Amino acid sequence: MLELPFHYPNLCQVSEEIPLIDTHEHLQEEQDRLALGEGLDFSYLFFRPYQLADMVSSGMTLADANRLQSDSLGQEEKWRLIAPYWQRVGYTGYGRAVEVTVREMYGIPGLNEETYDEVTAAMRARNKPGVHSWIIREKAGVALCILHNIDGDGIVYRQNADPVLYCQALAVNHFLQNPIPLEKLATITGVVPDSWASYQALIDRYFNLYHDKAVAIKNNCPYWRSLYFDDVPDNRAEEIFRKAYVLGKPITLSEVKALQDATFHHSIRQAVRYDLPIQIHTGYLADNYNLDLSRVHPANLTNLFTQYPQARFDIFHTAYPYQAELAALAKNYPNVYIDMCWAWGIDPIGTKKSLQTFIGAVPLNKIFGFGGDVWMADIVYGYARLARWGIAWALAEMVDQGYFGEEEAVLATRRILYENAQEFFNLPKKVIP
């Protein structure tokens, strides 16, 4: 499965063996995975790594999707719910990632009626301290992940993350929530902000505390709003903040947006101050019934690219399905970079074609080739294999067609999977093997 282009042995070798910089993960903490104990089973391969959303798209009811995630169902019942849809979604990138993980990482000949309990047994047998390192480092060949925690309201930085496996992006999305989780955010100072100025000071405190540990900031706001951020003056932000959080009055949707706009501009200025790259979700959204394509365009960010020439924008997910729009932006703006995280799972074949477009249009140093974007570590393996396979074939096809030679393809692979991200995020060489 996912065979490499063996007619180019040097390209195959680098594609297979180079350690990856993984620009984006939401991985749960290992201790939480260990705590699942006998509750861990094959169905976890379908949860937050998105496979369940493809099943709903294929016809599974939302009620069944919810039942699947309840602990009270046994393995057999879970398999009966999944089986009809697994046949439908096994062909997508999400499905391939599960299948290749089962086959190659656990050494079981595919996920089916006969093997699901064997898959569960293999997952439980590996569920011991060090399991994340085994999956991420040893099997997937990832040198370092950049983690965006999804641990809950107001958790901007995960305190106990393993510093060998992970660097972190400051989760500035919490600053942009509605309502703002002020009390939770204020736990680091003990003082709940009572003005726009004191809210800015609280945000600054996070930057001050974590700027030398974090390697980026992350904003995933297209899940709840558009990517267009007006430059709102301080007196307007103060007026809205006071109305909502001092006087406790309801605010309109446009006031909510304006306060978030001002907050993100402020976060960008702080990121520039500390030279932290700005990771932004653009394009496709996880789950179902939520994709409003009009608000996820990377072109919505153009005013920020112009206003902050010193900021460095890491634009996520190839802006799928707006890859060409992102290529044009990254070609034009020196401060815009393309990040292929999650894209190998969303659409592996389209992403292979997009990579050829990116290489032909955008300077090579501006392409980051891999991020899994998952909560369940096992699937990092599947997405890493898809990325290694897709990048090798994208480049092999370009060599086949005489665009460049194999040695140039090898150098490009090194850049795309390792060197570009290592330089861009100033990653500590000491923690990377």
Q: Decide: 55 and 46 in contact? Cβ < 8 Å.
A: yes
Cβ-based nearer residue to Zn ion, 147 or 329: 147
Q: Which two tokens stand for residue 276?
A: 């932290």
Compute the least distance from the CB of residue 341 to Zn ion, in Å: 7
Other C-beta atoms closer than 10 Å to the C-beta of 159 total 7
Compute the least distance from the CB of residue 186 to Zn ion, in Å: 26
Cβ-based nearer residue to Zn ion, 47 or 404: 47
Compute the least distance from the CB of residue 373 to Zn ion, in Å: 4
Q: Which of 221, 373, 390, 395 binds Zn ion (CB under 5 A)?
A: 373
Q: Decide: 173 and 220 in contact? Cβ < 8 Å.
A: yes
In the bound state, the residue with its beta carbon closest to Zn ion is 373
Site for Zn ion in 211-250 (CB under 5 A): none
Cβ-based nearer residue to Zn ion, 144 or 232: 144
Stretch that binds Zn ion, among 126-134, 251-259, 263-271, 371-379 (CB under 5 A): 371-379
Stretch that binds Zn ion, among 42-50, 201-209, 358-366, 368-376 (CB under 5 A): 368-376
Compute the least distance from the CB of residue 340 to Zn ion, in Å: 13
Cβ-based nearer residue to Zn ion, 22 or 373: 373
Cβ-based nearer residue to Zn ion, 314 or 373: 373
Q: What is the spatial distance between Cα 106 and Cα 133, in angstroms, rounded to a whole number?
A: 15
**Residue/partner pairs of 416-419 with CB below 8 Å, 24 or more apart:** 416/355, 416/364, 416/367, 416/368, 416/369, 416/391, 417/15, 417/18, 417/20, 417/21, 417/369, 417/370, 417/387, 417/388, 417/391, 418/18, 418/19, 418/20, 418/21, 418/143
How many residues touch Zn ion under the rule CB under 5 A: the total is: 1
Compute the least distance from the CB of residue 393 to Zn ion, in Å: 25
Q: What is the spatial distance between Cα 360 and Cα 92, in angstroms, rounded to a whole number?
A: 26
Cβ-based nearer residue to Zn ion, 43 or 279: 279
Compute the least distance from the CB of residue 317 to Zn ion, in Å: 8
Stretch that binds Zn ion, among 79-87, 172-180, 369-377, 384-392 (CB under 5 A): 369-377
Stretch that binds Zn ion, among 191-199, 325-333, 365-373, 389-397 (CB under 5 A): 365-373
Cβ-based nearer residue to Zn ion, 267 or 282: 282
Stretch that binds Zn ion, among 37-45, 85-93, 239-247, 373-381 (CB under 5 A): 373-381
Compute the least distance from the CB of residue 284 to Zn ion, in Å: 11
Which burial class, exposed, middle or buried, applies to 34 when counting CB atoms under 10 A from its CB (0-12, 13-18, 19+)? middle
Residues 324-363, one symbol each (x = binds Zn ion by CB under 5 A, - = not), give: ----------------------------------------
Q: Decide: 135 and 378 in contact? Cβ < 8 Å.
A: yes
Compute the least distance from the CB of residue 303 to Zn ion, in Å: 24
Site for Zn ion in 95-134 (CB under 5 A): none
CA distances from 198 to 173, 201, 238, 263 (A): 18, 5, 10, 12
CA torsion sign, 100 to 104 to 106 to 110? positive
247-277: string of b/e by CB count within 10 Å (b at 16+)? eeeebeeebbbbbbbbbbbbbbbbbeeeebb
Q: What is the spatial distance between Cα 142 and Cα 432, in angstroms, rounded to a whole number?
A: 9
Stretch that binds Zn ion, among 80-88, 205-213, 264-272, 367-375 (CB under 5 A): 367-375
Cβ-based nearer residue to Zn ion, 42 or 175: 175
CA distances from 49 to 137, 318, 322, 358, 376 (A): 19, 18, 22, 26, 7
Compute the least distance from the CB of residue 192 to Zn ion, in Å: 29
Q: Decide: 345 and 97 in contact? Cβ < 8 Å.
A: yes
Compute the least distance from the CB of residue 385 to Zn ion, in Å: 19
Sheet strands (E) in 130-232: 142-147, 166-171, 214-219
Stretch that binds Zn ion, among 135-143, 175-183, 247-255, 366-374 (CB under 5 A): 366-374
Q: Where do contacts with Zn ion occur on this chain (CB under 5 A)?
A: 373
